[in-house]
Structure 1
Amino acid sequence: MKKIALLTIIGLFLSCNSSAQKNETKVKETFEITKTEAEWKAQLTDAQYNVLRKAGTERPFSSPLDKNYGKGVYHCAACNTPLFKSEHKFDSGTGWPSFDRVIEGNVAFGTDTKIGYTRDEEHCATCGGHLGHVFSDGPKDTTGERHCINGVALKFVPAEG
């Protein structure tokens, strides 16, 4: 009986290291802006490179853009594509800049299974940079979506006037 229990525990342990955790984020292969890894490393800060090119995640509450409520547009920090408008930003309390919608056509979506379950990943449709993820727990009075975005992947461009 102990051998069966031990084999079951070992089997469960090995199943935790499933192929789902080894899958890469599925992102389209070609983009309008393409650069070598060396070119991206030269252009981006280490934190930007980790998030935008390696699909990393910044620490919550670490971005000054989380509490930025100025009027303007949030652009991709890698290629300057406009991604989100300030009027669609809200305080989700999660510690990351959150928006209830994207600028249509400028954000692309993929499937991310790197942490063992499926999430909807967002990336810049122009350069492929990883932005964050979209969830269905956003404001119910608008879209119901929460686009949870790494602030380091964004550049805020204030509105003129």
Structure 2
Amino acid sequence: MPNAQHLPALIGALVSANSRLVRVAATATGSEESPAVWRTLGVLRDLGPLRLGELARVSRVTQPTMTKLVNALEERRWVRRTADPDDGRALRVAAEPLGLAALDAWREELTAAIAPLFPELDSADLAALERTVAVLEAGLDRADASVGRSKEHE
């Protein structure tokens, strides 16, 4: 039975498996959309409106790259820039309903592409996955809260 000493290796395996899962699913959908688009919309959904520099940092891209991405998303009406209530000189980027709908549709497409790869899952496996998701979300919510943000921030 694993113990706390095994946690770093287990978390590493989860991150690796998740990356692989997303890569396989994205390939199966045939989507040519940049993963950065979905990552950016996901960050904005999870953390709420962010300044461009903060969005770039969280998304792990340069500010010029994020500026270009936000400009393209703004043209599609998937995001909008709004005044920062904490600093009238600054702007925040927020996800728009069209962008969130596109993100939801993409995730449904990913799910439809990847679910058939797991036909052997029984009720115990499904319960284990549900528990794993709950544990991961709780830890990630704590991480969001530690930087003063949470899903409830929206």
TM-score scaled by length of structure 1: 0.30
Structure with greater strand percent: 1
Structure with greater helix percent: 2
Bigger Rg over Cα: 1
